[in-house]
């Protein structure tokens, strides 16, 4: 595993050291010294960072965006300017998911200080909270053996490249090192062939977005589609999106999946990132995949449950052993998911082969495909 060893030798050995290196790399001394700041990305993330900066008393001079329809308009009293109007001495903070593309674009303009939003989340986690960037480099060093093992288990070169890029990015935080974007999330390629009689289980079904893609891929030829979505708002949207043509084959439940049948606290956000929150007073019913498999002999399982994936696998042990379904499972919600989840699947059933694909322009939507 020389690739992993070489990577580790090139970067920081501690989180404190990495923070200092990142500060130097992006020329960040003190937030109080920030002035003449431009937020590049005038949508939700830009508004969120505008609020963060207001709370610490840092004024934002402009928004910028590649959307020409926004140029000249004001958002919360702040003008949106074309990228070409950004001055060389302004601090530009990228507040958009299209990090790599925008970073390259701004580098070509020879701007002196370009800072991706997540850099601030990593250096100042209390001011710019983002759980995806609150990790410790020590964790990667502690589990180096497991990381090497999982890297060796990847079944094709692209999977290995995505795996290495994911690690490299965690150590460097350079947009250049983000994994390459792959299309067709949950339906990724030749190694992932759906049958005409698929019995598909969608865990974390949101409003039925994966179901829409499923219909396109299968052309409507399938046995049944079972979906769990614990958020009441999302559940309602999914139900309303089911054509009468498929109502006899689609079964949607307002439940979550987990390690055992129970009731747990849940954060009802009505968005994609609703999640299990055991401290919440609002409860949601949890059911195991093993329980569901008594009625449905699943051929494919998709799991995207906002950090609860490991618990789902615990409750899916029998189904994975007996049915050997194809599995598409998110491995980005927690730092250790990248290696813990493949090892857990392999422990349950050693017959699986693994592929890794990345489906966003940010750090999100890395999916392990087990076949």
Q: Please state, in angstroms and rounded to a whole number, the distance separating the CA atoms of residues 97 and 84.
A: 20
- How much is the average pLDDT of 342-371? 96
Last residue of one domain, picked from the residues 96, 111, 126: 111
Res 276: pLDDT: 62
212 and 359 co-located in one domain? yes
Last residue of one domain, picked from the residues 111, 145, 160: 111
User: In the chain, what percentage of residues exceed pLDDT 90?
Assistant: 84
> pLDDT by residue (tens digit) across 284-321?
899 999 999 999 999 999 999 988 999 999 999 999 99
Q: Please state, in angstroms and rounded to a whole number, the distance separating the CA atoms of residues 31 and 29.
A: 7
Residue 50, domain extent: 28-111
The total number of structural domains in the chain stands at 2
Burial of 57 (0-12, 13-18, 19+ CB in 10 A): exposed
85 and 226 co-located in one domain? no
pLDDT at position 101 over 90: yes
Is residue 13 included in any domain, yes or no? Answer: no
pLDDT at position 357 over 80: yes
Res 282: pLDDT: 78
Q: Please state, in angstroms and rounded to a whole number, the distance separating the CA atoms of residues 250 and 237.
A: 14
pTM: 0.93
Q: DSSP string covering 38-89, please?
A: EEE--SHHHHHHHHHHHHTTPPEEEEE-S-GGGTT-EETTEEEE-GGG--TT
Q: What is the CATH number of the domain that holds 99?
A: 3.40.50.720
Using DSSP's 3-state secondary structure scheme, residue 263 falls into strand
> pLDDT by residue (tens digit) across 73-96?
999 999 999 999 999 999 999 999
User: In the chain, what percentage of residues exceed pLDDT 70?
Assistant: 96
Res 33: pLDDT: 85
| Residue 110 region by backbone torsions, left for phi larger than 0, else alpha for psi between -120 and 50, else beta | left
Res 268: pLDDT: 65
Q: Please state, in angstroms and rounded to a whole number, the distance separating the CA atoms of residues 312 and 127.
A: 32
The band of 275, judged by pLDDT with boundaries at 50, 70 and 90, is: low
- How much is the average pLDDT of 242-253? 94
Res 110: pLDDT: 87
pLDDT at position 277 over 80: no
Cα–Cα distances (Å) from 74 to 56, 70, 78, 82, in that order, read 22, 8, 5, 13
Who wins on pLDDT, 10 or 219?
219
Q: Please state, in angstroms and rounded to a whole number, the distance separating the CA atoms of residues 1 and 147.
A: 10
Is residue 273 included in any domain, yes or no? Answer: yes
106 and 211 co-located in one domain? no
Last residue of one domain, picked from the residues 89, 111, 133: 111
Mean of pLDDT over the chain = 93
Is residue 8 included in any domain, yes or no? Answer: no
The band of 221, judged by pLDDT with boundaries at 50, 70 and 90, is: very high
Q: Please state, in angstroms and rounded to a whole number, the distance separating the CA atoms of residues 97 and 132.
A: 14
Cα–Cα distances (Å) from 118 to 17, 107, 121, in that order, read 17, 18, 5
107 and 235 co-located in one domain? no
Res 260: pLDDT: 94
210 and 351 co-located in one domain? yes
- How much is the average pLDDT of 42-63? 96
Q: What is the CATH number of the domain that holds 354?
A: 3.40.50.150
259 and 355 co-located in one domain? yes
Is residue 118 included in any domain, yes or no? Answer: no
pLDDT at position 271 over 70: no
Look up residue 321 and give its DSSP letter.
H
Res 189: pLDDT: 84
Task: Please list, residue by residue across 126-141, b when 16 or more beta carbons sit within 10 angstroms of its beta carbon and e when fewer do.
Answer: eebeeeebebebeebe
CA trace torsion 84, 85, 89, 93 (10° rounding): -80
> pLDDT by residue (tens digit) across 153-197?
999 999 999 999 999 999 999 999 999 999 999 999 889 999 889
Is residue 88 included in any domain, yes or no? Answer: yes
Is residue 1 included in any domain, yes or no? Answer: no
Is residue 186 included in any domain, yes or no? Answer: no
Res 270: pLDDT: 55
242 and 363 co-located in one domain? yes
Res 263: pLDDT: 83
pLDDT at position 46 over 70: yes
Res 278: pLDDT: 66
Who wins on pLDDT, 191 or 282?
191
* CB 84 within 8 Å of CB 108: no
Is residue 181 included in any domain, yes or no? Answer: no
């Amino acid at each position: 595993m020389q690739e992993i060893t070489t990577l580790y030798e090139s970067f920081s050995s501690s989180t404190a050291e990495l923070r200092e290196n990142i500060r130097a790399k992006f020329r960040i001394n003190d937030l109080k010294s920030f002035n003449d700041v431009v937020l590049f990305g005038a949508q939700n993330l830009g508004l969120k960072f505008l609020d963060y900066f207001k709370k610490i008393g840092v004024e934002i001079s402009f928004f910028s965006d590649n959307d020409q329809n926004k140029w000249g308009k004001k958002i919360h009293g702040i003008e949106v300017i074309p990228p070409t109007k950004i001055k060389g001495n302004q601090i530009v903070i990228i507040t958009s998911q299209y990090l790599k593309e925008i970073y390259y674009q701004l580098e070509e303009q020879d701007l002196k200080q370009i800072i991706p939003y997540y850099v601030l989340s990593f250096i100042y986690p209390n001011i710019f909270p983002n759980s995806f960037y609150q990790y410790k480099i020590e964790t990667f060093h502690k589990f180096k053996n497991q990381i090497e093992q999982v890297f060796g288990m990847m079944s094709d070169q692209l999977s290995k490249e995505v795996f290495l890029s994911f690690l490299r990015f965690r150590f460097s935080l350079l947009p250049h090192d983000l994994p390459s974007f792959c299309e067709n999330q949950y339906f990724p390629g030749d190694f992932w062939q759906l049958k005409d009689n698929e019995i598909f289980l969608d865990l974390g079904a949101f409003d039925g977005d994966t179901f829409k893609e499923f219909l396109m891929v299968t052309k409507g030829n399938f046995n049944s589609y079972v979906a769990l979505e614990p958020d009441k708002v999302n559940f309602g949207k999914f139900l309303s999106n089911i054509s009468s043509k498929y109502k006899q084959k689609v079964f949607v439940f307002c439940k979550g999946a987990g390690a055992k049948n129970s009731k747990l606290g849940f954060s009802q956000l009505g968005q994609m990132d609703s999640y299990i929150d055991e401290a919440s007073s609002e409860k949601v019913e949890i059911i195991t995949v093993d329980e569901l498999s008594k009625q449905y002999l699943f051929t494919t399982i998709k799991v995207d449950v906002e950090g609860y994936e490991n618990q789902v696998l615990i409750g899916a042990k029998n189904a994975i052993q007996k049915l050997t379904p194809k599995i598409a499972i998110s491995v980005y919600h927690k730092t250790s998911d990248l290696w813990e989840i493949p090892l857990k699947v392999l422990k349950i059933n050693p017959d699986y082969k693994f592929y890794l694909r990345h489906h966003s322009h940010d750090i999100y939507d890395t999916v392990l495909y087990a076949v």
